[in-house]
Amino acid sequence: MELDTNSHPHRRLNIMTGEWVQVSPHRTKRPWQGQEEHTSENDSQSYDATCYLCPGNDRAAGSSNPEYQSTYSFINDFSALLPDSPSEEFNHRDLLVAKGERGICKVICFSPRHDLTLPEMEQSHIEDVVDLWVHEYRELGEKPFVNYVQIFENKGEVMGCSNPHPHGQIWAQETVPEEPAKEQIQFKKYFDTHGRTLLEDYLEIELETKERVVTENDDFVVLVPFWAFWPFETIVISRRPFARLTDMTVDEKRSLADIIRKLTIKYDNLFSIPFPYSAGHHPAPTDGRDHPEWHYHMHFYPPLLRSATVKKFRVGYEMLANPQRDITAEYSANILRESPDTHYKSNNNING
């Protein structure tokens, strides 16, 4: 019998990490009697006097925010990493091993407006957010002890986001953390053999069929990767294989803002809610090396499965054995592609 990836259980290789994902498309018919998440709309007020991130307000640890008009970043008052902690190693008989880790954590506010999320923001305001990401990547990456700058956003209560005010975080640190480190190995292996970036060649294949492509513009393509784990996971890949956020041209920065707007509008429209996710940039490490193998991209990992209230849990087999998904990447890509381009709350048309 020939393998039909639309109906037969199979495994797909995540070429970016070298790890396998179990796909079980025949399971999508099972009934659901488990937990349903409650949905939360955005706050409707543009300023909240009790919000730690609104302009002019006091923060939890005593400092206060300026009356910022656009974007604003500050050192996280509860930073997980500190710039002056010892970076010595500890090793007891190769069994108890630890190493000090230095770093800097920042919070970045996307807008002075408490009630907006990225898909509801004007294109020009998302461009300001892109400029801030580039600025922070440059400034933090230039610090001699910083070898990786991880910029990310947790959106929605279900993802553990602490505050509806639109914001993200940055953790810049000495060590290249696990996820980009896995990609670094895979990218280098591929580049050394083929002389092209792994994502450049992968994108070429995806653009032949467009089966998993969700949306695209002149400089970026959004697709559900062949090996996606989260039901509506996507990756944003630059058409030109550049490595760093600071390598983007003015046009590419504009295009990045545009593609993020397009994608997040589609996400919100999927279940007519502010769609929760963890998303982040994977630019090259800032370790002073050139990294011709690296290809800039962004990951979006949304937790929802089949409605606004049913979440995917990574438990049981997936904790103990292997990541697994039921609906196929092709099925999800199709749903996302068909998701309307105008935000459900407004006439904010993504083509406008």
CB of 126 to ligand H2U, least distance (A): 19
Residue 173 binds to ligand H2U (criterion: CB under 6 A): no
- Binder of ligand H2U out of 14, 42, 111, 154 (CB under 6 A): 154
**Of the two residues 179 and 211, which places its CB atom closer to ligand H2U in the complex?**
179
Residue 90 binds to ligand H2U (criterion: CB under 6 A): no
Residue 107 binds to ligand H2U (criterion: CB under 6 A): yes
Q: Kindly report each contact of residues 345-351 with a partner whose C-beta sits within 8 Å and lies 24 or more positions away, as own/partner.
A: 345/120, 345/268, 346/120, 348/119, 348/120, 348/265, 350/215, 350/261, 350/262, 350/265, 350/266
Task: Decide if 106 contacts 81 (C-beta within 8 A).
Answer: no
* DSSP characters over 278-340: EEEEE----SS---TT---EEEEE--EEEETTEEPP--THHHHT--EESS-HHHHHHHHHHS-
Task: Decide if 112 contacts 171 (C-beta within 8 A).
Answer: no
CB atoms within 10 A of CB 265: 25
User: Is there a catalytic annotation at residue 135?
Assistant: no
- Binder of ligand H2U out of 24, 76, 175, 246 (CB under 6 A): 76
Q: With contacts defined by CB under 6 A, name the span among 26-34, 75-83, 269-277, 331-339 that binds ligand H2U.
A: 75-83
Residue 116 binds to ligand H2U (criterion: CB under 6 A): no
**Of the two residues 67 and 77, which places its CB atom closer to ligand H2U in the complex?**
77
- Binder of ligand H2U out of 45, 85, 162, 322 (CB under 6 A): 162
Q: Is 95 exposed, middle or buried (0-12, 13-18, 19+ CB in 10 A)?
A: exposed
* SS3 of residue 343 by DSSP: coil
Q: Which of 114, 167, 281, 291 is catalytic?
A: 167
- Residues 302-341 interacting with ligand H2U (rule: CB under 6 A): none
Tokens of 12: 């797909």
CB of 256 to ligand H2U, least distance (A): 21
Tokens of 286: 């800032």
Residue 57 binds to ligand H2U (criterion: CB under 6 A): no
Residue 214 binds to ligand H2U (criterion: CB under 6 A): no
Task: Decide if 241 contacts 187 (C-beta within 8 A).
Answer: no
CB of 146 to ligand H2U, least distance (A): 18
CB of 65 to ligand H2U, least distance (A): 9
Q: What share of the chain is helix, strand, coil (3-state, %, to 5)?
A: 30, 25, 50
**Of the two residues 167 and 262, which places its CB atom closer to ligand H2U in the complex?**
167
Residues that bind ligand H2U (CB under 6 A): 52, 59-61, 76-78, 107, 154, 161-163, 169
Question: Residues with catalytic annotation?
Answer: 167
